[in-house]
Structure 1
Amino acid sequence: MLANIRIVLVQTYHPGNIGASARAMKTMGLTDLVLVTPRQFPDPEASRLAAGAEDLVANARVVGSLEEAVADCVQVVGASARLRSLPLPHFDEPADMAQTLVGNAAEDPVALVFGRERFGLTNDEIRRCSHQVSIPANPDYGILNLSQAVQVLAYEVFKAWRLRPGSDYRPARPTPERQPTREQLDHFHAHLARVMQASGFLTQPHARTESQLQALFARAQPSRKELSLLRGLLSALEDTRPGD
């Protein structure tokens, strides 16, 4: 489904914005990038700012017109400020747009179209779209960089896809760290008790203090790696002598 969602950049002026937009796309699972008559492409700056999404830049298709870029799409959403003079359906909320776009992408290609950095899409280009969408922003300063706009709308699209019934989205999960054995914990607590006695922190057996510390570490549930770090700290303290 995400493979059917196309990002179209029209006459991008700065090649770095192509790379930054590709990076924004890849973080949200989008891979289909089409460039309409970019001023300068390919360009090393585009690859540099892709920062891990160089494959999207390398595979980007360059076409000569917006018509060519979206000819096979069943829905084309132009990202722009709302133009009431054009009778296009307009999404005031990007989330609503994303749900519709993702629904159509289940069967056919769809496109999100972004205009030039300086003045966006022309009226004629917006007329080539089936819908418009705007990004709500601070009314006193609603200016987004091209790649920022791509990131915002790509995120909404990814969220809409992720929350669909039957989505195969699986978040990346860190590999759980191994927990220490009871024997390793016993050795640690015995080591801690020796260091506390030797340091003068405890001048006589304090069962309550030791049990409280044992309870503290039980709540913390240190991993084997963390327990080894603590043992190293205790060993370093044992080796320290006054005047060292």
Structure 2
Amino acid sequence: MDSTRFILINTSHAGNVGATARAMKVMGFRELVLVAPRFPDVLCHEEAIAMASGAADILARARVVPTLAEALEGVDFACATAMTPRDFGPPVYRPRELFADLAARAPAPRLGLVFGSERYGMANEDVYRCHAVLSIPTHPDYGSLNLAQAVQLLSYDLRQALGGFAVQPRTPDPERADARAVQGLLDHLQTALVDIGYLDPAAPKKLMPRLNQLFNRAGLTNEEVHILRGMARQMSKTIRPQGSE
């Protein structure tokens, strides 16, 4: 199912073709087939290439065929996309549930996802060629999706059914400052606060213990300690006469 074929019928807008290629590549799919697009040269159209945004290789490999029958050659299980269920035709499924079922089959079928025109969707005879209809759960009062948005949603659900991609590990947290480093900062900051007249050494109250608690909650890193000590140094330097340090 990694080789799932994405099939667009009678696509009107070149930008949607490019955006579809981008949506596919993001989820690791490669095969795109266009059935009788409005513009025969849509794959090399400037807007399509611009909207592909780095997925021009998908456009370069894509095929244009005249009929859906040709686009479905080699496909074992075809899924139509339709906004509303039909009175007659293949059964309707939620994408996530159907993809999980198909992925669990051995061997998994060669899948084809079929998308209709932006202007009028899929014709009934095209839907009848498919094994299932996929209905993306949307708000009941408004279920109109842009073509590329629909491709992105379905390709995401399909990729998740296939196991998904590993999340990139986060950059390790910088090293936390130890108690000695924090105490050195407090001593340095106390001197600076006295220099600028903010702290009265004769009546310090609980300013420094409160700052100590603040720094403990913040979990300062060594780099942050260096920054704060640099600020304290500059505060003292600004107040003291030149050469009195």
Per the TM superposition, whether the score is higher than 0.5 is: yes
Report what 1:202 is aligned to. Answer: 199
Report what 2:127 is aligned to. Answer: 126
Pairing 1:15-164 to 2, within 5 Å after superposition:
15-38=14-37, 39=39, 40-91=42-93, 93-104=94-105, 107-162=108-163
1:33-65 superposed Cα distances (whole Å, 9 cap, x missing partner) = 222233222212112112233332333233332
1:223 aligns to 2:221 (yes or no): yes
1:90-119 superposed Cα distances (whole Å, 9 cap, x missing partner) = 11x222122134335963421211111111
Q: Secondary structure at the match of 1:88?
A: coil
Q: Secondary structure at the match of 2:78?
A: strand
Q: Secondary structure at the match of 1:68?
A: helix
Q: Secondary structure at the match of 2:43?
A: coil
Q: Calculate the TM-score normalised by the size of structure 2.
A: 0.81
Task: Structure 2: give runs of 5+ residues left out of the alignment.
Answer: 240-245
Report what 1:189 is aligned to. Answer: 186
Q: Residues of 2 paired with 1:239 and 1:206: CA distance?
A: 22
Q: Residues of 1 paired with 2:51 and 2:223: CA distance?
A: 36
Per-residue deviation at 1:172?
0.9
Aligned residues: CA RMSD? 2.7
1:6 aligns to 2:8 (yes or no): no
Q: Residues of 1 paired with 2:234 and 2:25: CA distance?
A: 46
Q: Secondary structure at the match of 1:4?
A: coil
Q: Is the contact between residue 24 and residue 147 of structure 1 (CA under 8 Å) also seen in structure 2?
A: yes
Q: Secondary structure at the match of 1:119?
A: coil
1:57-97 superposed Cα distances (whole Å, 9 cap, x missing partner) = 33323333222222212211111133433231211x22212
Q: Residues of 2 paired with 1:230 and 1:157: CA distance?
A: 50
Q: Residues of 1 paired with 2:230 and 2:15: CA distance?
A: 47
Q: Is the contact between residue 74 and residue 104 of structure 1 (CA under 8 Å) also seen in structure 2?
A: no
1:211 aligns to 2:241 (yes or no): no
Structure 1 vs Structure 2: percent identity of aligned residues? 35
Per-residue deviation at 1:125?
1.2
Report what 2:168 is aligned to. Answer: 172
Q: Residues of 1 paired with 2:228 and 2:32: CA distance?
A: 50
Rg: which structure is higher? 2
Number of residue pairs matched by the alignment = 234
Per-residue deviation at 1:206?
4.2
Q: Structure 1 residues 159 and 239 mapped into 2: Cα distance closer, same or farther (>3 Å)?
A: farther
